[in-house]
A and B are shown apart, each in its own frame.
Chain A
Amino acid sequence: MQPPPGWWFAVVPLAFLAIFFFWPVATVLARSLSPRGFDVLVSAATWRVVAFTTGQAAASTALTLLVGLPAAYVLHRLHFRGRRLMLSLLTVPFVLPTVVVGAAFRSLLPAAWIGTVTAIVLAHVFFNLAVVIRVVGGLWTHLDDRYEQAARTLGAGPITLLRTVTWPLLRPAVVAAAALVFLFTFTSFGVVLVLGGPTSTTLEVEIYRRTVQLFDLGGAAALCLVQIVGVLAVLAVSGRLQRRLTVRQRLSRSDVALRPTRSSLDRSLVGFVSVLTVVVVLPLAALVRDSIRVGDHWGVDWWHALTVTGPTTRDVAAWDSVRVSLTYALAAVAIAVIVGGAASCAIAYSRRGSGALDIGLMLPLGTSAVTIGFGLLITFAVAPVDLRSSWIIVPIGQALVAVPLVVRTVLPVLRAIDPRFREVTSTLGASPMTTWRTIDLPVLARSLGIGAGFAAAVSLGEFGATSFLARTDAPTLPVLIGRLLTRPGQANYGQAAALSVLLVIVTIAAVLVTERLRRAGSEGL
């Protein structure tokens, strides 16, 4: 029995992708091939920025692995009190909006460090630790420990074991995690904008600066080109490496039983992770402190200031940006759910061409948010389709980033439907349409709800694309935070801290609701 034809569902996502992704990217590429673009491409300043971008990404990745690998081991293999709590706390930073991470480290670090590469790398480690812990730990919990037991009976000591068994089995996950962290830090925008300085600037920030401050669109487009080539190179190298290193192994289906913490090495590793957890909480605590610290006393002045259209925020009452953020999130979720849902059906049901659509939809995720924002800006800010004055372009940009997440949530569930259910329904007299309505749709609805939650979290925290697209008089929460942080004075800073705390609460609430939904709906077809 066949589900409805895939191409029918592919129309909407293909159109969306073509208009709002490929067209803008093509526009960027065309713009970069101008004389101005060429000048920028060959200038020494550009290559200094490229070198800094790559260098800080490499340093951030190395340090994240160094800290994250022991943490992955401790949190996924050892049994000790507080393990779950530590795992949750260490995962929190990853769901935080990047501009909030930047603000938190401004609160935490001494003023002299701001604008240095140290501040940027520390914030990146904070943000990406969860990637290493989750990706590597996810494989580590399922490593069948009988491999290690076999090696032990063959005379391998702890070091030999690690070198000859554990590491080779784990290596693909380590490479995958490293590639992700490198990509995130290579294209990091919010953190660098807030914590970077004149000499510590990355491609992303430089694209933004050229667009917004210098109106050098040709130069910005050229930097986007460099950015795209860089991302493609990372993807190609890591993809090759992963394929070469992947080992066919028997994974235990359930989690491997956690080992009691006995050896002194294990005990000191647990101690290390405990300290790490405290360190990870510090930036957030500093943020909360700064939101209620007024001069030399405590108070809610900054929170109160959020409600007024005053000289501090100059343009809008901060509460208005909460309304703006929620409205945009609602629209972005609607777009992402429709496009992502249709795309999932198209990919799941079609026999040919589904791979291409799948990859096509993943491209916006690999493309930096700044490139997407810049591309939409220069494509749609001109006649005949001047969408720049329309607010809808903002949620569209956010949805581009969110659609891949919706697809990754919905598609596996849709694919996991046992085809025999569709066979049963047809032998019971259900037409293909009825089968889709009674079998696929209930599953789809539930996982779309989860995808909507992720999309909401993305939209609320999205900074890269939104910075380019949001209207000056209608900033979203992250954009307003970024704006306040660039202005001098404690009042601006205090309000930025207060707004950041607010955004953290909203984002974590969205993630928790989604997570609850996901757990509740774990029984599927």
Chain B
Amino acid sequence: MAQGLEVSAVSVALGGYVVLDRVDLSVQPGEAVALLGPSGAGKSTLLRVIAGLEAPDSGRVTWEGADLADIPAHRRRFGLVFQDAMLFPHRDVGANVAYGLEREAMGARERARAVDELLSLVGLAGFADRRVETLSGGQAQRVALARALAPGPRLILLDEPFGALDRELRERLSIEVRDLLRSRGTPSIHVTHDPDEAHLVADRVLRMVEGPSGSRLVDEA
């Protein structure tokens, strides 16, 4: 039986333009894959297709051999971290992290403990009561990661998660995230336009190349 994520021949056209042209991609259990490429090449679109936020015009996305076409985003258990953390401004840090746990049968105390654990995992122990607008850019991204990890996703999608941060912080966070995901055995797809970052975080680096009819993926040597 097939393992992990399998994207086969996925094409997407947006507003009349072909963005993705028969893209293939597979992610093995526990593997970290980086997608490199210039902005506008369709990296984010590919992540959105995998997450179920966008339907491909053709092609298939499967998980352990099962087609995901009819599985809506909220049932796929794929976590997503955006470039700007997109923390809910009407919830504090703890309540942001707890969001994905609220649909699981657990008591309030148990949930609070889980939130505290996740926050210390991303180096923000004791931040649960903070308002989100008091966080720095790096802290907000850590919270976004903790929030994505909370419901125990089968796969984490990171869309230029540290793109807005300065280089030094970006490298440090990249290593932290890599080690964290590795220790949990969660596979990941990490979109970036920085080759150094890509090689730092990933077991395998793929490059998105813009062709005459949409972007394709090629293995980075």
Q: Is B72 an interface residue (CB 8 A)?
A: yes
- Closest A residue, CB atoms, query B78: A427
Q: With contacts A425-B99, A428-B151 known, is A420 near B86, CB below 8 A?
A: yes
Docked pose: A424 CA to B159 CA in angstroms: 12
- Closest A residue, CB atoms, query B76: A427
Q: Is B73 an interface residue (CB 8 A)?
A: yes
- CB <8 Å contact, A429 and B103: yes
Q: Is A431 an interface residue (CB 8 A)?
A: yes
Docked pose: A427 CA to B150 CA in angstroms: 11
Q: Which residues of B contact A424 (CB under 8 A)?
A: 80, 82, 86, 147
Partner of A439, one of B48, B82, B88, B133: B88
- Closest B residue, CB atoms, query A525: B89
Q: Is B53 an interface residue (CB 8 A)?
A: yes
Q: With contacts A420-B82, A424-B80 known, is A431 near B90, CB below 8 A?
A: no
Q: Is B79 an interface residue (CB 8 A)?
A: yes
Partner of B73, one of A423, A439, A443, A523: A423
Besides the contacts A1-B74, A438-B88, what 14 more A-B pairs have beta carbons closer than 8 Å? A420-B82, A420-B86, A425-B99, A426-B73, A426-B74, A427-B51, A427-B53, A427-B73, A427-B76, A427-B79, A427-B153, A429-B103, A434-B103, A435-B74
- CB <8 Å contact, B86 and A426: no
Docked pose: A300 CA to B153 CA in angstroms: 73
Of the listed residues B51, B73, B74, the one surrounded by the most CB atoms of chain A closer than 10 A to its CB is B73
Q: With contacts A438-B99, A442-B90, A523-B89 known, is A426 near B53, CB below 8 A?
A: yes
Task: Tally B residues with Cβ within 8 Å of A.
Answer: 28
Partner of B147, one of A418, A428, A439, A442: A428
Q: Is A421 an interface residue (CB 8 A)?
A: yes
Docked pose: A424 CA to B150 CA in angstroms: 13
Q: Is A430 an interface residue (CB 8 A)?
A: yes
Q: Is B202 an interface residue (CB 8 A)?
A: no
- Closest A residue, CB atoms, query B53: A423
Q: Is B148 an interface residue (CB 8 A)?
A: yes
- CB <8 Å contact, B89 and A524: yes
- CB <8 Å contact, B80 and A427: yes
Docked pose: A136 CA to B206 CA in angstroms: 54
Q: Which residues of B contact A431 (CB under 8 A)?
A: 74
Chain B proximity of A283: nearest CB distance (Å): 43
Chain B proximity of A403: nearest CB distance (Å): 26
- CB <8 Å contact, A427 and B148: yes
Q: Is B100 an interface residue (CB 8 A)?
A: yes
- CB <8 Å contact, A429 and B89: no
Chain A proximity of B113: nearest CB distance (Å): 19
Q: Which residues of A contact B48 (CB under 8 A)?
A: 423
- CB <8 Å contact, A429 and B88: no
Q: Which of A79-112 contact B (CB under 8 A)?
A: none
Please, what's the 1-or-0 string for B82-93, where 1 marks a CB less than 8 Å from any CB in chain A?
Answer: 100010111000
Chain B proximity of A12: nearest CB distance (Å): 26
Of the listed residues A427, A434, A523, the one surrounded by the most CB atoms of chain B closer than 10 A to its CB is A427
Chain B proximity of A470: nearest CB distance (Å): 41
Nearest 3 A-B pairs (CB), nearest first?
Answer: A428-B100, A426-B73, A426-B74
Q: Which residues of A contact B90 (CB under 8 A)?
A: 442-443, 525
Q: Which residues of B contact A428 (CB under 8 A)?
A: 74, 79, 99-100, 147-148, 150-151
Q: Which residues of B contact A426 (CB under 8 A)?
A: 52-53, 72-74
Chain B proximity of A427: nearest CB distance (Å): 4
Number of A-B contacts (CB under 8 A): 69
Task: Tally A residues with Cβ within 8 Å of B.
Answer: 23
Chain A proximity of B180: nearest CB distance (Å): 18
Q: With contacts A427-B51, A428-B151, A434-B103 known, is A421 near B77, CB below 8 A?
A: no
Q: Which residues of B contact A439 (CB under 8 A)?
A: 88
Q: Which residues of A contact B150 (CB under 8 A)?
A: 428
- Closest B residue, CB atoms, query A420: B86
14 pairs across A/B with beta carbons < 8 Å?
A421-B88, A423-B73, A424-B80, A426-B72, A428-B100, A428-B148, A428-B150, A428-B151, A429-B74, A430-B99, A430-B103, A443-B90, A523-B89, A525-B89
Q: Which residues of A contact B157 (CB under 8 A)?
A: 427
Docked pose: A421 CA to B78 CA in angstroms: 15
Partner of A1, one of B73, B147, B151, B153: B73
- CB <8 Å contact, A525 and B88: yes
Q: Which of B44-65 contact A (CB under 8 A)?
A: 48, 51-53
- CB <8 Å contact, B80 and A423: yes
- Closest A residue, CB atoms, query B52: A426
Docked pose: A428 CA to B148 CA in angstroms: 7
Q: Which residues of B contact A423 (CB under 8 A)?
A: 48, 51, 53, 73, 80
Docked pose: A108 CA to B48 CA in angstroms: 67
Docked pose: A215 CA to B195 CA in angstroms: 83
Q: Which residues of B contact A434 (CB under 8 A)?
A: 74, 103
Please, what's the 1-or-0 string for A489-516, where 1 marks a CB less than 8 Å from any CB in chain B?
Answer: 0000000000000000000000000000
Docked pose: A442 CA to B99 CA in angstroms: 14
Q: With contacts A420-B82, A434-B103, A438-B99 known, is A427 near B74, CB below 8 A?
A: yes
Chain A proximity of B78: nearest CB distance (Å): 6
Chain A proximity of B160: nearest CB distance (Å): 13
- Closest B residue, CB atoms, query A430: B74
Docked pose: A485 CA to B37 CA in angstroms: 76
Q: Which residues of A contact B52 (CB under 8 A)?
A: 426
